[in-house]
Amino acid sequence: MNSASKKAILVVSFGTSYENTRKVTIDAIERDIADAFPACPTYRAWTSKMIISKLKKRDGIIINTVKEAMEQMLRDGITDVVVQPTHVINGIENDQMKADALSFKDQFASIVFGNPLLTTENDNQAVVKAVADEFQDMDSMTALVLMGHGTEHVANELYPEMDGLFKHFGYSNMHMGTVEGDFSIESFLDELKELHPAHIHLAPFMIVAGDHATNDMSGEDDDSWKSILEREGYSVTCTLKGLGEIQAIRDIFIRHTKMGLDKLS
């Protein structure tokens, strides 16, 4: 790489309209990455145009799309970019993000991508440990039910794989489902009945505890996971804490960013 090169990191998130969770998840990931690589300016982009539009209209906050962030970096004289997603899986959002960034490939010396959270077997095992450590004080009569986002993308298979991985490492009281895709709460209700837990604890398996966690998981509507489980006779509590609040999860994103920067070197 020549001496005139100028590297930067673009952290790409889906986004959230919930300020409280944004501060302790997306903002925290960006801050940790910026602190880990102080020689590289860090930029932000979100992929949800609906959320970007909502924040602009409601709060007057301007968030760049991936293309707008790439244009900003060009104006700032950036030559080499590491695009680091905060996505959980390499699904539809990640595919679109790559396409948007690579539409600028002729205008930068290099564009490389860091991995989403769940990419390698080591990643998956590190996430299992991070989540298990987060809920280590949970008693044996409580079942932890994690709500993933889910997708129609083939990457949705990662969610049942993670469910199996929790069991593999001895966490038989930890269960995974998704709010979208074909791995819904109905897929493990029978398994819960066999376990007879005294209590169920719900938590999001998503970077932010936003709309899905607030409404689909812990809301009072009849079709929320909390309501469904209560109708089944369970005592239910909810944790509105996104994965991005867990330091061990943020550390995985730092490692993935480092791998991206190493590709530039």
Catalytic annotation on 149? yes
Contact 259, 115 (CB under 8 A): yes
CB 11 within 8 A of CB 84: yes
Confidence (pLDDT) at 3? 52
Classified as helix, coil or strand, 175 is strand
User: In tens digits, what is the pLDDT along the chain, a chain of 265 residues?
Assistant: 455 789 999 999 999 999 999 999 999 999 999 999 999 999 999 999 999 999 999 999 999 999 999 999 999 999 999 999 999 999 889 999 999 999 999 999 999 999 999 999 999 999 999 999 999 999 989 999 999 998 888 778 999 999 999 999 999 999 999 998 888 898 889 889 898 899 999 999 999 999 999 999 999 999 999 999 999 999 999 999 999 999 999 999 999 999 999 999 6
Q: Select which of 87, 149, 175, 212 is catalytic.
A: 149
CA pseudo-torsion sign 158, 83, 50, 56: positive
Sign of the dihedral defined by the CA atoms of residues 257, 258, 262, 265, in that order: positive
For helices 247-264 and 26-36, what crossing angle results, to 10°? 50
Residue 179 CA to residue 199 CA, distance in Å, equals 21
Instruction: Please give the angle made by the CA atoms of 90, 243 and 136, to the nearest 5 degrees.
Output: 125
User: Could you give the 3-state DSSP secondary structure of residue 256?
Assistant: helix
SS3 state at 177: strand
CA-angle at 56, arms to 50 and 58, nearest 5°: 95
> Quick one: pLDDT at residue 153?
80
Q: Please calculate the CA angle 65-67-72 and round it to the nearest 5 degrees.
A: 95
